[in-house]
Amino acid sequence: MASLQTIQKIGPVLDLFTVERPEWGVSEVATAIDVPRSSAHALLSSLVETGLLQCRTRGRYRIGWRIVQLNQTMKGTVDVRSCAGPVLQELSHKYGETTHLAVMERYRVLYVDKVLGNHVINVVGARVGAHLEAHCSAVGKVLLAQCDPSEIERNITNKPLRRLTPATITSPAALAQELRSVVRCGYAFDAGEAVSEVHCVAAPVRDEMGVVVAAVSMSVPSNRFVPAQIELKNAVVAAAGEISRSVAAAVPISRAHRDDPTIAAAS
């Protein structure tokens, strides 16, 4: 059990290291994640041993070079962001609105790409690398809709759902009903639930196995979104389908060899 508890604390420790604050000390980490100083030191030392962190002078810690190696490994797999980039650009250019690509990371939305719209009055949207709670956004609903209800209960609705605007869904029952609708329809709306006067529509991006791996969305001021809602929804759903086909076509040869026994036997 002690080992499991240690693993569960690694994520919160790594979350502390940001562009705005890239360096932390032992006492600062202990305070931030609410553990004894000795426990924080043990966690940091373990992460240094794996290369995920490096210890600088005066007991200060920064992200380690192992991250670069892991990044290169990730680039060897299908890069959803690369597949989505041209489609996000085209979608934003056609409608002049801001488009996003997001993934699920530990039951929170992580924004991995964005194309800013070109209207005079425009939605800036979430910055790339930002996290947002999943219950209050269109992309979050799309990503949560793929999860087992028991997982949602354990990781999302086991605590109060934070209200960001008067429209935010804060009832677990209402969220469950909304997610069932997303599964049935294949898209999700956000009617000013994360930011007042900003509406969004999102659709799922799937890999070659049909598994939802990301979500694409368009964020629009409510006065422009409401009259064009159906057209914008159809455009986002079509864009998600195009990205999904691109992801499926980009399956690495190594994975194809591993998963297809005929190819493996021939080789």
C-alpha 203/C-alpha 142 separation (Å) is 6
* Domain 2-70 and domain 77-249 have a common topology: no
Looking at residue 121, its pLDDT comes to 82
Looking at residue 267, its pLDDT comes to 34
84's tokens: 């989505």
Looking at residue 264, its pLDDT comes to 39
The region that residue 197 occupies, defined by phi over 0 for left and psi between -120 and 50 for alpha, beta otherwise, is: left
144's tokens: 């949560």
Tell me the CATH number for domain 77-249. 3.30.450.40
C-alpha 154/C-alpha 132 separation (Å) is 18
How crowded is the C-beta side of 208, counted as CA atoms within 13 Å?
15
Phi, psi dihedrals of residue 22, rounded to the nearest 5°: -85, -5
The angle that helices 2-15 and 26-33 make with each other, rounded to 10 degrees, is: 110
- Other Cβ atoms less than 10 A from the Cβ of 68: the count is 11
Predicted TM-score (pTM) above 0.75: no
Q: Which fold has domain 2-70?
A: Arc Repressor Mutant, subunit A (1.10.10)
Q: For the chain, which residues make up each domain, given as ranges?
A: 2-70, 77-249
Question: Any bridge partners for residue 99, and if so which?
Answer: 115, 218
Mean pLDDT in runs of 10 for the chain (267 residues)?
A: 60 86 92 90 88 83 79 61 93 96 89 91 84 94 92 88 95 95 96 94 92 94 95 97 91 48 39
- Indicate the DSSP class of residue 226: G
Looking at residue 7, its pLDDT comes to 66
Cβ-contact 125, 98 below 8 angstroms:
yes
Cβ-contact 118, 97 below 8 angstroms:
no
| In the block, residue with structure tokens 């693993």 | 7
- How buried is residue 262: exposed, middle or buried, by Cβ count under 10 Å (0-12/13-18/19+)? exposed
C-alpha 136/C-alpha 103 separation (Å) is 15
Looking at residue 195, its pLDDT comes to 93
Count, residues in the chain = 267
